[in-house]
Structure 1
Amino acid sequence: MELRVELCGQVRLPVDVTTTCPDNLCNFTYARVFTRLDLYIPKDISRSCPVVAFITGGAWIIGYKAWGALLGRRLAERGIIVACIDYRNFPQGTIGDMVSDASQGISYVCNNIASYGGDPNRIYLMGQSAGAHIAACALMEQAVKESSGQSISWSVTQIKAYFGLSGGYNIHSLVDHFHERGLNRSIFLSIMEGEESLSRYSPEIVVKQSSSQTIALLPLIVLMHGTEDYSIPSSASQTFADVLQQAGAQAKLLLYEGKTHTDIFLQDPLRGGRDPLVEDVLSVIHVDDEITQEKIAVAPAPRRLVFEWQLQLARDTMETTDLSMMDTNRINIK
């Protein structure tokens, strides 16, 4: 596995790692597997930092770890290490491969982040869109294994909270919706390993079928969704939150009025100023850290990165484009 480190300051590296850092960006290999992750580190790591393991979206087809760069930089500026974990996309892999890759990345973070200034007791899992689905699948799969005594490489109890941003958690209910949005039904079912696997890869259904021992292992689940999200409707998060609460899990839903599928993750940070997503994430991570909360409250607001007309043009374009921003009918399945 190859690790790229975005340095906002100095970082302690293991003695057996060789690295080059042109322009404050470190790239190095630490294991022989197919997945990679980018690590964003705060300037000040004089004390152990909280950690967010992030799984990006991309309709299970165009996901890439660099999509988390904006979030990584924003959170690193506020004292949080962010690991943006890559995974195989379709058709290089199907959902089982994606969940396995994500779980392997989470395992690396849990078992090695202390070497990079991270606090292994303050690790948070976050996913956006397809990444929220993949991360939730990995979390539930691990909880089921752990509660049944199976061998595991990381523990669900190491995760302080899960943040699901604009995700879909009941794949059965989304097949037709995605088809109407442009993600061809046959392609999507191939990604999900056939109709017979939809329940297995629907975290909402897995929760319903799980034992009380499995549910007891789950961390706080925070589901975040824009009310004007047409790619994945906010009802997907609402229903999942209800199911979690009925099962006895800790879950809360945060709805962002008037926000689309990408507003809170992309457009709002690009605008600069107040960032509701980052603020809500920080409020959970630093809930017991009054000193850090005070520092964040007086920190200068991030600057605007693009003009408003550019954001509006992008939004107008996306509203007339299908879900995956590609012609999925052209994907060849061999």
Structure 2
Amino acid sequence: MGSATVLTFLIVGVATSTQATLFIVNQLALTQEMQRYTSIAYGSEAAQQLDVYTPINTTYTSSLPVVIFFYGGCWGACETLPKEDYAFVAQTLLEHGIVVVIADYRLFPTVRFLSIIEDARNAVEWTHQHIAEYGGNPKQLFLMGHSAGAHLAAMLAMNQAYLSQDAYADLNGFIGLAGPYNFLPFDEPYMPELFGPPLNEHESQPITYVDGSEPPSLLLYGDADTRVKPVNIDGLFKRLEAANSPVQKRIYQGVDHADIIASFAMPLRRENPVVLDAIQFISASANN
């Protein structure tokens, strides 16, 4: 039984829908001590909003590392849950003294990829400009995402052209949870339209932009993942290594695509290697 299934049974005793399970997980997370600033606009569209989570004792004079988290969901082409459903990720990181930003973004098919990555970019730029007001250190920014969200985070981390020079310089690291980074040829019918002109196919791939100037990367993946192929993690890892860019890879036995993000939820997060590896990476990179 995978850890995501264990999570469901531990919480409610029976199998439930993803939304029902996440509702209970997030209710548990929100009972913990935290400060939560909700639905802050980083743009003029309804979807261009973000939430900021800070430890309860954070003051405006604090200077804590910051994780900007992007959720997955096939960029909108499959089930995509809103930022509120990832409070459990924030709560786990808060326990380690990390300020967390979780952003919504516009989704396919309403928009195409260039609009989606623009939203991700603008969420990071907003955080860089304003996170000190919430006790976060704008010079200790980390990009983190799961699945399609890891792709967004990787695109920003690998391609300097997306972010302002100042914001890119303050990226301390990238953490990818089961992300697609090297998925040509396209193997889903929606992808040609999502990543279509004016992009060419290779411009949709984070691996394309690696040149050795990237912030440190941590690539996390489960060997039971049937949604994202191993070539995504292996390909980006080898390309970063070849460019002498700092990179670490962790492969977890028996962990599937859902398990790796469920690792951040109560009660699985205690002594969980996925969480411990992410926290260790943030602590080491923030102190450099």
Q: C-alpha displacement at 1:275, in angstroms?
A: 2.2
| CA deviation map 1:100-127 (0-9, x unaligned) | 1001000111111000000122211111
Pick the aligned partner of 2:234 from 238, 253, 258: 238
SS at match of 2:257: coil
Contact residue 7 and residue 26 of structure 1 kept, 8 A: no
Q: How does 1:22-171 map to 2 (within 5 A)?
A: 26-27=37-38, 29-30=40-41, 32-34=43-45, 35-46=48-59, 47-61=62-76, 62-63=79-80, 64-141=82-159, 143-144=160-161, 152=164, 154-171=166-183
Matched, 1:249 2:245: yes
- Normalised to the residue count of structure 1, the TM-score between the two structures is 0.68
Residues 82, 170 of structure 1: CA spacing in aligned structure 2 closer, same or farther, 3 A cutoff? Answer: same
SS at match of 1:277: helix
SS at match of 2:145: strand
CA distance in 2, matches of 1:52, 1:246: 27
Q: C-alpha displacement at 1:157, in angstroms?
A: 1.5
SS at match of 1:114: helix
CA distance in 1, matches of 2:230, 2:283: 26
Percent identity of paired positions between Structure 1 and Structure 2: 26
Code of the residue aligned with 2:274 in structure 1: it is L
Residues 140, 117 of structure 1: CA spacing in aligned structure 2 closer, same or farther, 3 A cutoff? Answer: same
Unaligned runs of 5+ in 2: 1-29
* Number of the residue aligned with 2:201: 198
Residues 118, 188 of structure 1: CA spacing in aligned structure 2 closer, same or farther, 3 A cutoff? Answer: same
Contact residue 49 and residue 104 of structure 2 kept, 8 A: yes
Higher relative contact order (CA 8 A, sep 6+): 2
- Please tell me the root mean square deviation across aligned C-alpha atoms, in Å: 2.6
Q: C-alpha displacement at 1:205, in angstroms?
A: 2.0
